[in-house]
Chain A
């Protein structure tokens, strides 16, 4: 099995590309297995078909992004679709469920005759990671092709475009084919039956994903309104234990002006200032002097008193709504209102702050609670600042539950309550698709080592892991 060696990618004119696709289709119908891979999010950026010629792996990459206004575009799409929809042509994919779902959702192409090399890999070695690059590293001689192409692991997408992306795409499909044909993955008996079964299950799983479920958005908004007051009550408890002093209405106004308004303009308004402006005549035209220059007069602005009206006049960008909310809350003297004020003004304990600026860890340290460290990290080094936040300290739910177990301190329960309610609000923030339905994608049969199916966000970013939706 040779690594990819060509230094430049030869480009084919459109008629030749069409011929090549027809040839591949014909070869596929004669039994030549093809591997198939796509790149793209909302649209297929490119796709590749790989095959073996003797001992040499080859791939044909189609730059589908450039087909949009291309005169040969419809013909090339038609030839490609014919291959993909032909159940008599084997197309080996890595995560066929994703490829099939993507083709159906974005291009209304129904992938048939597919095989899933990832299923073979996961059936043979359930404990190993299922990313293509791991399998390729172990079973092929193809080098890690993400080198030279930035691949964003968090967003799971290639960052490159053009030739770098095409090479990456072609290499993916070649690796998929080589893995599929590897002797160690020629499974038999019950294991082969399981792979075939889970590959077949992709079809109903895709159907369920595309169908989606009707989502009651009105009820979701109502639940959110129900939960928000509970959040502020719980947050008030945390702020109280942290010793955050409540603010009276005047203090709220002063803090709002400081945090949410343009400092220079506020200072000027409060101190008073003089302004030179052009004089206007009755018709609204500028008055000119003998030299034709505009005549200016001085206007004296007297100092203004700090007020909500002044704050709204000088609000920073996107701060108008928070200021209006603060104005409402300032007159409500309840702990929950104070908690919301603290949150807007960023003076309360923010449970979402993390890393070295984690306010939760700082609070726990201040209260003298024993530190809990992240799993697998080192504990405090001799020269670590014991008063500050140590990098390996953890403030997540597991850590707080562990602290609760060890100490029973009320602040742990208060923090857990806030986190729990924030989790509920996050649950309500699951996106729905543009048709108002909620969807998820499935990894059937090989989501976990035990064969469990797992769910993830759908192709449009909506939904998510619907297996964790809380029930009573």
Chain B
């Protein structure tokens, strides 16, 4: 805890005090904030949100029905062994709700999220959760530390619309260790009146997918083979050495190489508008839809900002989530990749989208099939 606080910086510096004085003197706060209204929380309706495994999102309304609610979710922390590639490489993953990434939570600006965080009894480590969408208490991390067998309940108000990462952040060296062993997920806070395009026109999406990108750092033995371990945390000293190199051995979507391919490829139809949410809790990425585009992109994940349009590739800063919208125009197979192609092909950062529909010759046509060059 102290190690982390020292990086946050002493708030009571002279600079900090001067800044505080300036704001008080100004009197007029220029950014109207939902946080300013005092709400009687006891009168708000409560709804339970059933979390689903990624890449899917929980059932939700795009335009909020009614006023602010308290959305109840339960996150059961499970330490479990996963196979993360097609060579049988194993990893003791630390997971929210059994999956890497953890499940997506969807609410509207002004809602409250009440999280029951359970550290299941078979686990061996202390865990907590830091929501980038929350305010105060180290994102909730300070107030949610649970030992195996314990649970805690935290309620935070969604005051900023956008997509945000959440991750475990126990203490010191455990923070990066937990995050790169799978312990992260994302939240989407929709504007109450839904999403709007770059012209400010409201639109809706037909489907939404959550792609959680994960960098893994798996130690190798003297012969260069990935090591296997018996229990969670046993790899700690070896893993820290690999982590120090800042070079992952795996960069994968949905927890494993190929997890979003073959029978588990994403699906869509020509004419459908699909929202792709991309989260990377630790490391930069640059998603690209091969064969398509980012029609509307909130690269930083902030829905109040006017989105970028018609991008070939966009940038997801490590420690953040972004959202992209595409309306499919051609059927076939698309690859959704981290466009560092070494990471995409060699480290596993590739998913596929299978799209049904009619081919459009106007957009693309094979004018001449590959044939010998005439003499």
The answer to whether A and B belong to the same complex is no
| B residues apposed to A, CB below 8 Å | none
